[in-house]
Amino acid sequence: MAQTLRKPEIIGIARREGKVTVERLVDHFGVTPQTIRRDLTELADAGQLERVHGGAVLPSTTVNIGYKERRELNQSAKVDIARLCARHIPHDCSVFLNIGTTTEAIAAELLHHQGLLVVTNNTNIAMILAGNPNVEVVVTGGNLRRSDGGLVGELAKQTIDQFRFDLAVIGCSALSEGGDILDFDIQEVGVSKAIIRQSQAVFLAADASKFERRAPAKIADLSEVDIFFTDLQVSDRCEQFCAVNGTKIELAST
C-alpha cells in the first residue's frame, strides 16, 4: 500500500484504539518496521500523532477528541470494563453515573438491575436506563454540552449536593502515571468533585488508552477511588500508588 493511503488508515486505527504500535502496523500493512517508523515520524512531525515507545498515540491537546470518535475508541475494552463494574454494583442502592462513553456502557449493563436510584448528568445514560422500569432515573440540571449530551455547571453541582449516594461511578479523559485523574472541561471537573464528595464509595472506570493521554484539569487522584476498573495491567508506579492508598484494581479480560 502506498504511503499516501497508509497514513490515513494509521490515523483511523489510532482514533479507534487510542494507540498504534509498530509491531501491529507491520503485520497490518505487510511492510518493514523501518517503513512504519518513518510513517509515524512524518505523522508526528505533521502534528497528527505523538510518538511514544513502540508506536504513537493521538496528540495531546487542551481539547478532547469528538464524542463520536470517543464512542468508537476501544469499544471492546469498554464493554468488558462495564460488565465487570456492573457486577460490583448491588441491587437496591443509589448510584451516580457521570459523563463518558465508558459510563454509558456501564448503564447498558444495568438494564437488568432492580431497585436502583440512578442520578446522572449524562442525558445519554438517562435514555439508556429508560429501558429498565425497575430503575428510577434522576437527571441533574445544568448547561447542556451539545457535543456529548453532558450537563455541567453550577446547577448540576447544586442538584448533586441534594443527595448522598451509596456509590459513584465516574470516568475520566486521562490518567497520569502518578495517579491523577484528569479532564478537559473545567466545568465538568467541578461537577465530578461534587460527585466524589457526596458518595460513600467511588468507582473509576477507564480503559488503558487513558494512560497514553494528557489533559489539563485535575478531578482527584486514585487515593479517592475505592475500585479502579481497567482493561490492562497498570504501571508499577500506579500499582504502588494504589496499594499504598488502599485503591483496589480490577482488570477486565479483553
Write down the pLDDT at residue 193. Answer: 95
Gap between the Cα atoms of 143 and 160, Å rounded = 14
Task: Please count the other Cβ atoms lying within 10 Å of the Cβ belonging to residue 142.
Answer: 21
Write down the pLDDT at residue 213. Answer: 79
Write down the pLDDT at residue 190. Answer: 92
The residue behind cell 464512542 is 71
Identify the helix (H) or strand (E) that includes residue 110.
Answer: none
Structure confidence by residue, pLDDT tens digits, 21-42:
999 999 999 999 999 999 999 9
Largest CA distance in the chain: 59
Distances (CA, A) of 181 to 17, 171, 213, 216, 235: 20, 9, 11, 10, 15
Among residues 248, 253, 216, 204, the alpha carbon closest in space to that of 231 is found at 253
Gap between the Cα atoms of 193 and 165, Å rounded = 13
Amino acid identity for residue 168 in this structure: A
The dihedral through the CA atoms of 105, 88, 19, 34 has a sign that is negative
C-alpha cell at 88: 460490583
Task: Please count the other Cβ atoms lying within 10 Å of the Cβ belonging to residue 160.
Answer: 25
Identify the helix (H) or strand (E) that includes residue 91.
Answer: none
Write down the pLDDT at residue 13. Answer: 84
Contacts 24+ apart (CB under 8 A), 227-235: 227/88, 227/201, 227/203, 228/203, 228/204, 229/81, 229/84, 229/85, 229/203, 229/204, 229/205, 230/81, 230/205, 230/206, 231/74, 231/77, 231/80, 231/81, 231/207, 232/207, 232/208, 235/177, 235/211
Identify the helix (H) or strand (E) that includes residue 145.
Answer: strand 143-145
The dihedral through the CA atoms of 37, 39, 45, 50 has a sign that is negative
Collect the ranges in the chain with pLDDT lower than 70.
1-3, 18, 60-74, 254
C-alpha cell at 31: 511492510
Characterize the bridge pairing of strands 199-205 and 227-230. parallel
Write down the pLDDT at residue 56. Answer: 87
Whether this model's pTM surpasses 0.85: no
